[in-house]
Amino acid sequence: MKRQLVQSGQLDVLERIAAFAAKIRGHQLTGWKRSQHSSTAACAACGRTATVYRSLVQPEMQGDAIEGDCEEPLRHVAA
């Protein structure tokens, strides 16, 4: 159980780092979906995603929400 808490804590930290990195580019990441070793969220405005990967050696993050600005919406939300 302690190992699960550590793994969950690592993903919590990586999610916060990714959310901050995406926010700098104008994104608002929401709806984190977790698997055993990763977590993915999408920008509420444009739909671009960010994924973080838990690893003992080198945690990673990638995605359009981290690498690009929140510009023209990719999806349209009905009012």
Evaluate if pTM is beyond 0.75: yes
Does any domain span residue 77? no
Contact by Cβ (8 Å): 33, 39? yes
Which residues of the chain register pLDDT less than 50?
1-2, 5, 76-79
Contact by Cβ (8 Å): 36, 30? no
Count up the domains in the chain and report the number.
Answer: 1
Does any domain span residue 78? no
Does any domain span residue 36? yes
| Type of residue numbered 59 | P
User: What's the pLDDT score for residue 73?
Assistant: 61
Residues near 45 by beta carbon (within 8 Å), at least 6 away in sequence: 26, 27, 28, 70, 73
Does any domain span residue 38? yes
Range of the domain at 6: 2-67
